[in-house]
Each structure stands twice: as C-alpha cells, then as structure tokens.
Amino acid sequence: MQTVEYTILAALEEKLTAVIVADLHDRPYLEVLRGIEKIRPDFIAVTGDHMYSPHTAKHGLDFLFEASKIAPVFYSIGNHEHIDKAGAEKIAKAGAKLLDNSYAVYKGIYIGGLTSGWTRRRAKMFELTPPPDLRWLRRFAALPGFKVLLCHHPEYYPKYIKPLDIDVIFSGHAHGGQWRFFGRGVFAPGQGLFPKLTSGVIDGRLVISRGLSNTVSVPRLFNPTELVIAHLVPLGGND
C-alpha cells in the first residue's frame, strides 16, 4: 500500500484533511489503520465497497470501530454493499455515520453520501452504471455553503455531478483500472476499456482513489493499492 496526498483549493476558512478509504472489500485493515493513525485527519471518508454486508463482515465493522477512535467516519454505499435497517444500526454502533443518500454537517461543511445506483439490483461487470438518486443529488447541491460528496462511482461525475454546485467529490470503484500502463488504467466497471476516471484529481475537485484491495482473479499490475489523503486548503492558503 502506498500513501498519496493531494491538495485541493477550497472556499474554506481553515484547512481540513480527509483520508479516503475506498474499496477495502472486508479485507484485513491493520496497515490501513496504521496509515490513518500517522495522518491524524480531521475526518475519514469511506467511499463504498467497504464490506458486503454488516451481518457477514469479518473486518469491516471492526475497522469502523477502530477508525472512529481516530477521527469522525462518514460512510457512503457502493455497488457491492447490501445494508438493511439492522445493518445500518450495526454501522452506527461501530461509530460511523452512514450516508445513504443523506448528509451530515461537520465543522460547518456538508458531507453527503450518494448511494450507488446498483443497490437496486445486482451489479454486473460490463454494464453501464445505473443512475443514482438524482432528486437527492440536486437537493444536496442546492444546500448553501461548502459541500463534500462521497460518491463511489467516478463515472457519475461527468454526466450527473460536474454541472452541480458541489465543491469536492471523493470516489473509488475503478481500482485504478486494474492494470496501469503509461499512467493509464486498462479497464474499470461502468467505464469499460481504457477508462478516463481511475486515479488522481480531476477538474481540481474530483478525487479518485485506486482502492485498498484486489477482489478479482486478475492481479493488479503496476497499480499498488493506495490510501489517499486530501488536504482541503483555503484559497490563498498554504498546504
């Protein structure tokens, strides 16, 4: 696992540091937790596919419990997650704030979670990603003040999010394109071959993590897992 840091200029009064935990897929988490402990962020953004279900999780709930001792944890839902009411209660007991097409207010900013459109039916590898709840997304964008959106799918950005008044978006899902050659991924669900949105910062506001695990038989190649740190720095400030 490597640690990657990005600086995002933001209309804030003070600097905030977030850690993006993407696509852990219920894998062992000790290395990730140690990385977060070193950073001591203001908040932790879990951007989906953290576990498959709170009822069967081996590591996911324990990670949330330990991470919430370090900083507030905000959790949005990815395409592989199945979270019912009882599961949501388990996540709350573990110390995380579940954002299922909902938002929380933290340090004067809005942090929202846009739930994957795949939660309405089983995700399939080669299909286009179904749209999210657009009515909720527009309501969130209309809120006054600074807004951070946790959105598992980076492919939602150009079609649904880019035109909206949302300041920063944290995503994952693409696993860096699985294989990377010359700085470009080979395949990502919802984007197909040679996807454009797999890693880094797009338009100074979309931050994409390559994720923290490998869940398919094809190994990651030239594409290490990564823990992403996003420094939200006031306009005119220093990082």
Q: What percent of the chain has pLDDT over 90?
A: 82
Q: Which tops the pLDDT comparison, 238 or 121?
A: 121
DSSP codes of every residue in 114-166 = E--GGGGS---TTSPPPP--HHHHHHHHTSSS-EEEEES-TTHIIIIITTS--
Q: State the distance between the two ends of the chain, measured CA to CA, in whole angstroms.
A: 24
Backbone angles phi, psi at 140, to 5 degrees: -65, -45
Residue 112, beta-bridge partner list: 103, 149
State pLDDT tens for residues 96-114: 999 999 999 999 999 999 9
Confidence of residue 178 (pLDDT cuts 50, 70, 90): confident
For residue 236, the tally of other CB atoms under 10 A from its CB is 6
- Rounded to an integer, what is the distance from CA 37 to the centroid of its chain? 19
| Domain 2-234 bears CATH identifier 3.60.21 | yes
Confidence of residue 239 (pLDDT cuts 50, 70, 90): very low
Residue 125 above 70 pLDDT?
no
Confidence of residue 90 (pLDDT cuts 50, 70, 90): very high
The structural domains of the chain, with segments of one domain joined by +, span 2-234
Q: pTM of the prediction?
A: 0.94
| pLDDT computed for residue 122 by the predictor | 63
Give the residue carrying structure tokens 């576990």.
51
Cα separation of 151 and 132, whole Å? 10
Residue 37 above 80 pLDDT?
yes
Pair 78, 49: CB distance under 8 Å: yes
